[in-house]
Structure 1
């Protein structure tokens, strides 16, 4: 009788132990699954302004949103190493602009390639995704698009990260001289003179110039960019955007006025050896906005290719202080 009673107690204890371990294992599996799903990068399309816009998305859906806007001649692919860093705590969204990457690139007679129209498409994009509040990371061409969005949606912007995203004339290097000549005289001769700007040698130049260790530049970066640049009709698309870039410079005073009025939390993370956008462009933010912080990295235009860990760490520290 005693043995039978003891056997029942031991059996019950073993069952409870196994149940607890199974529950813990199940919880661990579920927890791991949640973490993995959070870190996954999803590749999606959405209709915006009548176009199929490709975008990368990662991170918790209920976390603060960070919108990443790429520049020339690249796409959201430039953020492939930054997205995993940010998406552990933030909901990260990185679209390809029209005419770039995997988004639609309609011919010129079907879409006007101006920065106003790129912005119109991105406005439709954020409206379609119902983005109410977000921090915006702007780079190169992404800056005039992001700053136009900023002017139109001041209530949505929680903070600004500018990575070689210019808003000051003193930030333009002499590399812009041939382009400015085209602005002043948009002749066929001056337009043709800019065709080298979309050639492979120039794409590679943008990646390698100012970089102390060229072995850090992944070859698929400039190879993929050039693949899209070489699509039929794309040369004229890009030349149209180069011509229209003058409208961005004309808007610089408006952008600066916004910085003075709203004093947004702003972090400028800048490749100091950029051949197109000089450090003076980064310093300009501090003149208009007491909440602007500037950090330089000794690298070139595509600073994320060589300094993603440092830049990612600085961005996380910045985002942690933003309002939701």
Structure 2
């Protein structure tokens, strides 16, 4: 876990907040007016709220921007006695949202933040105002979800490595040293702009994983895919109808080698057939690193229009 006041040379200057509601010390950023509409940003693997460091100031003048770190990531605790499956992260998010009483939420989801956000939306569709997927899958009870995940895994270096490493016993030892191999892990998943790599950037992404005991979140997400224990929720008819009625936007870096557009954008369009899809050429999996200004403008304009 990172020190609560760490700013990484001023690149993450936000006041830290913590909640014990999920049963562990969960960190979140909470910037902007408390009366403003809520923008809830959900990160993926193996990132944390640092991923959204450019988006927060772009929106917080007019919106309440809340950015939690999932259990085992960023400044949140990594309890040894907990499991780290998808359904656990959805439970944790639910507890935090209830503790903060967040409503009128615009979800901004990246990577496995997509399944976490959509899992929460199946339970609380009345709290959701908009859905924004940025290189983040949007599973919502689709019958072809397993086939799309399987097809993507056949062409994704990250998912190929997960399957191989779990089979030969290397997954936990390798990801248990994530603080030392964070750059290769991030690069395997994919960003195109190498100019972002600075000492502060490397420290920000490596510091949460200083010891094997700090890596349970990253291990759990990967292992859950390799062993099939993640549970993707299916909405009931009321939730299905409400979420499909919400304004939605997909933003997808086309150079993503981990979550390929051809496999995951159809999941989004199946729920939101009239929703705009913005495909960004030359932008990789970590789209908020490759094109932060462009994506910030797209999100801000979408919120204004809807």
State the Cα distance separating 1:290 from its structure 2 match.
1.9
Q: Could you list the per-position Cα deviations for residues 202-259 of structure 1 after superposition, in whole angstroms to 9, with x for gaps in the alignment?
A: 64452487555421344433332222223232345432322223345x638x37x976
Q: Within the alignment, does 1:120 sit opposite 2:91 as a pair?
A: yes
Name the CA distance, whole Å, in 1 between partners of 2:255 and 2:185: 12
Q: Within the alignment, does 1:242 sit opposite 2:226 as a pair?
A: no
Q: Within the alignment, does 1:251 sit opposite 2:224 as a pair?
A: no
* Match of residue 45 from structure 1: 18
Aligned positions of 1:293-312 closer than 5 A: 293-297=276-280, 298-312=282-296
What is the TM-score normalised by the length of structure 1? 0.75
User: In structure 2, do the counterparts of structure 1 residues 204 and 211 end up closer, same or farther at CA, with 3 Å as the change threshold?
Assistant: same
Aligned positions of 1:1-324 closer than 5 A: 41-107=14-80, 110-167=81-138, 169=148, 171-172=152-153, 173-175=155-157, 176-180=159-163, 189-193=167-171, 195-197=173-175, 199=178, 200-201=180-181, 203-207=183-187, 211-245=191-225, 246-248=228-230, 251=232, 254=234, 262-263=243-244, 264-280=246-262, 281-297=264-280, 298-322=282-306
Aligned residue-pair number: 274
What is the TM-score normalised by the length of structure 2? 0.79
SS state at 2:295 partner: helix
User: In structure 2, do the counterparts of structure 1 residues 81 and 237 end up closer, same or farther at CA, with 3 Å as the change threshold?
Assistant: closer
Return the structure number with greater helix share: 1
Does the CA-based 8 Å contact 2:18-2:25 persist in structure 1? Answer: yes
Does the CA-based 8 Å contact 2:249-2:302 persist in structure 1? Answer: yes
Name the CA distance, whole Å, in 2 between partners of 1:98 and 1:210: 23
Greater relative contact order, per chain length (Cα 8 Å cut-off, separation 6+): 2
State the Cα distance separating 1:194 from its structure 2 match.
6.0
Does the CA-based 8 Å contact 1:196-1:202 persist in structure 2? Answer: no
Specify every segment of 5 or more residues in structure 2 that has no aligned partner in the other structure, as ranges: 1-12, 139-144
Does the CA-based 8 Å contact 2:45-2:221 persist in structure 1? Answer: no
For the pair shown, the structure with the greater C-alpha radius of gyration is 1
State the Cα distance separating 1:271 from its structure 2 match.
1.5
SS state at 1:251 partner: coil
State the Cα distance separating 1:180 from its structure 2 match.
4.1
Does the CA-based 8 Å contact 1:207-1:301 persist in structure 2? Answer: no
User: In structure 2, do the counterparts of structure 1 residues 212 and 41 end up closer, same or farther at CA, with 3 Å as the change threshold?
Assistant: closer
Does the CA-based 8 Å contact 2:131-2:248 persist in structure 1? Answer: yes
Name the CA distance, whole Å, in 2 between partners of 1:303 and 1:311: 8
Specify every segment of 5 or more residues in structure 1 that has no aligned partner in the other structure, as ranges: 1-39
Does the CA-based 8 Å contact 1:59-1:90 persist in structure 2? Answer: yes
Does the CA-based 8 Å contact 2:182-2:205 persist in structure 1? Answer: no
Does the CA-based 8 Å contact 1:259-1:289 persist in structure 2? Answer: no
Query: Which moves more between the two structures, 59-68 or 173-182?
Result: 173-182
